[in-house]
Amino acid sequence: MAETTKSTAKYWLFFIITLAITLAMLIFVPAWFWVVLPFPITFFVLALDWM
Amino acid sequence: MPRRVAYLLSVVFHPLLIVSYMLVILLMMNPYLFGVNNWSGQIRLVIILMFSTFFMPVLMVGMMKKLDLVSSLELADRQERILPYILTGFFYIVMTAFFMYHPDTPNAFTTFVLGTTIALFASFVVNLFSKVSAHATGMGGLVGMIVIASWQFSSGTIFLQLGGDVILQVNVVVVLGLAVLMAGLVGTARLQLKAHVIQDLYGGYLIGFLSQFIALRFIF
């Protein structure tokens, strides 16, 4: 049976974008950075195929 | 995440313990809100609260297990959660009413207790139709509570007494970030233990978080 490989490129891209947004928020509006915090972590975990 | 860590996270952040954590955080944010500024007074306050929000509901579920009314203490089956929800809800209503009509209780804490009770009954209603994660509801409520407390009831700093006169000051935004991370970790632990699917977690987070804001609107 052929083994399918899952592409994680999409998740790496989302991780970089959301990380940039989180860092920007941490610099400019630190009181609100927690709102976007779950996204880079979730995409990082998905990109590493841990879930 | 190893299964043992997932189980430990599920126990440490059990939904019935969240109100006690809320009280501890509020005491650290504003120690003078309750009129007690010494360790023994604060610990006594937390233990009194834990009696009706943790010990009594746990005792009841333990008794239900002994009487074969539930198959396990985890209450994995949606139908089995109905009776414990009602009985726990009874304790939370009594406690909320006590705090609401007790003049010495700060409005900040009454808001969070009311928010927790609203979340409990909202979870109960949703649970009749679809399973919802009580852990996620608790963590959503905890994050909501810290957001509200940081806006309304704190100077922007949390004070951690490390013994003696050593006090560590932590920015409340850092605490908020940590709470969001912990909420995510607890959700991951629930998925790892196969206790829930991701939709149960989203529903739980939403119910817990919004309930705190509904309570805030009601009290203020």
Sign of torsion over alpha carbons B126, B127, B129, B130? positive
Chain A CB within 8 Å of residue B155 CB: no
- Give per-residue pLDDT as tens, B10-58: 999 999 999 999 998 888 887 777 777 677 888 888 998 898 899 999 9
- Give per-residue pLDDT as tens, B141-156: 999 999 998 887 767 7
* CB B74, CB B131: distance < 8 Å: no
Which residue does chain B place closest to A34, by CA atoms? B177
Cα B152 to Cα A21: distance, rounded to the nearest angstrom: 26
Cα B153 to Cα B150: distance, rounded to the nearest angstrom: 6
Identify the pLDDT of residue B164.
64
* CB B131, CB B203: distance < 8 Å: no
Distance to chain B for A47, nearest Cα, Å: 15
pTM score = 0.88
ipTM: 0.78
> Percent helix, strand and coil across chain A, each rounded to 5?
75, 0, 25
All residue ranges of chain B with pLDDT < 70 are 37, 154, 161-164
Select from B180, B188, B191 the Cβ nearest to the Cβ of A34. B180
Residue with tokens 């850092």: B174
For residue A16, which phi and psi values (nearest 5 degrees)?
Answer: -65, -45
Identify the pLDDT of residue A50.
76
Identify the pLDDT of residue B30.
77
Select from B176, B184, B191 the Cβ nearest to the Cβ of A41. B184
Identify the pLDDT of residue B154.
67
Select from A34, A45, A51 the Cβ nearest to the Cβ of B177. A34
Chain A CB within 8 Å of residue B210 CB: no
